[in-house]
């Protein structure tokens, strides 16, 4: 049975589905796209540098901008210094986030050097960091981890037990190792092992591509909620599809018109928000989003070679006008 809601302390998350934090993707504009489509219980910010936050870097602070209509929303931060992480977490509380999450899963080299999945190699240091952050905030505190550094160092259960003792209130697990990156398959048995080892809520993440996958993860692991990242960037409707599938046993795929309205609307919102990197985000999202679109390679090519945001919008309009036009008899 798929859980009807996830509860983190006294924060009800309904339905029990979460948009994973994704660097360069889950900004306020994309999160509002997800919110507008419905059926996503919790959204999360891009992972954000604790060092940047404590230096009051304007560039870093923009990652934590959110609107009131985005609640419930969690801020995700990363870093390796307990004092700096504690200060950054306290800032997220001051900013009004519903809870704060610590990134212990990012496999990117420059992040591993100062946090992310790199902390899975040093559990005593991780314990100090989690304890410092727990003491610094009153709002719920959660973590997101990988299964371990490599296949010879699977530490998810040990980290989960430690986190529970410190007062961490939920744990999300992407059951690939840092060395796997995003290759190979996620080992869902690690999620099951963690669920059996702790009493705090366990959130499953990794290799959920369809509503059926989400249901199967819950069945196989007993997890309390599912978290979806990459699949949501190419199919933002997936949360609505999960809700429909649970309610009726079926779900609809977006039409070409649905795709056009979402893509064009997202791009226009990026421009209206005066995102400094709007054009780069447009090109990135077009690449992710159009793999499900008929003749999508044509649109990806034209967007990639466009020279301005207005040109990109023109490419989108022209492409979908052609693919949605009624065929001649």
The catalytic residue positions are 106
Quote the tokens at residue 180. 């796997």
**Separation CA 321–CA 285 (nearest Å):** 19
What residue has token string 């993707």? 25
266 CB contacts (<8 Å, ≥6 apart)? 29, 30, 33, 285
Q: Do 306 and 315 touch, CB atoms closer than 8 A? A: yes
Q: Do 19 and 42 touch, CB atoms closer than 8 A? A: yes
Question: Could you tell me the CA-to-CA distances from 11 to 5, 141, 325 in Å, in that order?
Answer: 10, 11, 46
Residue 323: how many CA atoms within 13 Å on its side-chain side? 20
């Amino acid at each position: 049975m798929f859980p009807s809601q996830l509860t983190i302390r006294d924060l009800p998350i309904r339905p029990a589905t979460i948009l994973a934090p994704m660097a360069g993707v889950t900004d306020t504009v994309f999160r509002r796209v997800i919110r507008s489509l419905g059926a996503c219980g919790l959204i999360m910010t891009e992972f954000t540098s604790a060092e940047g936050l404590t230096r009051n870097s304007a560039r870093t602070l923009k990652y934590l901008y959110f609107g009131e209509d985005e609640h419930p929303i969690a801020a995700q931060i990363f870093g390796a210094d307990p004092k700096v992480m504690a200060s950054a977490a306290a800032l997220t509380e001051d900013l009004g986030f519903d809870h704060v999450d610590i990134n212990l899963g990012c496999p990117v080299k420059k992040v591993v050097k100062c946090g992310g999945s790199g902390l899975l190699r040093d559990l005593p240091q991780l314990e100090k960091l989690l304890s410092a952050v727990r003491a610094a905030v009153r709002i719920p505190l959660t973590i997101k981890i990988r299964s371990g550094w490599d296949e010879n160092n699977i530490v998810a259960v040990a980290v989960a037990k430690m986190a529970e003792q410190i007062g961490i209130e939920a744990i999300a697990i992407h059951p690939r190792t840092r060395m796997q990156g995003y290759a190979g398959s996620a080992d869902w048995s690690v999620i099951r092992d963690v669920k059996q080892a702790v009493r705090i809520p366990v959130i499953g993440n990794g290799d959920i591509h369809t509503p059926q996958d989400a249901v199967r993860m819950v069945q196989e692991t007993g997890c309390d909620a599912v978290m979806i990242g990459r699949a949501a960037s190419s199919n933002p409707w997936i949360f609505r599809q999960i809700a429909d599938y649970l309610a009726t046993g079926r779900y609809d795929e977006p039409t070409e018109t649905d795709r056009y309205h979402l893509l064009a609307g997202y791009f226009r919102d990026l421009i209206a928000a005066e995102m400094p990197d709007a054009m780069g985000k447009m090109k990135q999202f077009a690449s992710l989003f159009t793999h499900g679109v008929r003749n999508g390679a044509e649109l990806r090519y034209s967007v990639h070679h466009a020279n301005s945001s207005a040109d990109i919008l023109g490419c989108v309009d022209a492409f979908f006008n052609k693919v949605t036009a009624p065929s001649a008899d």
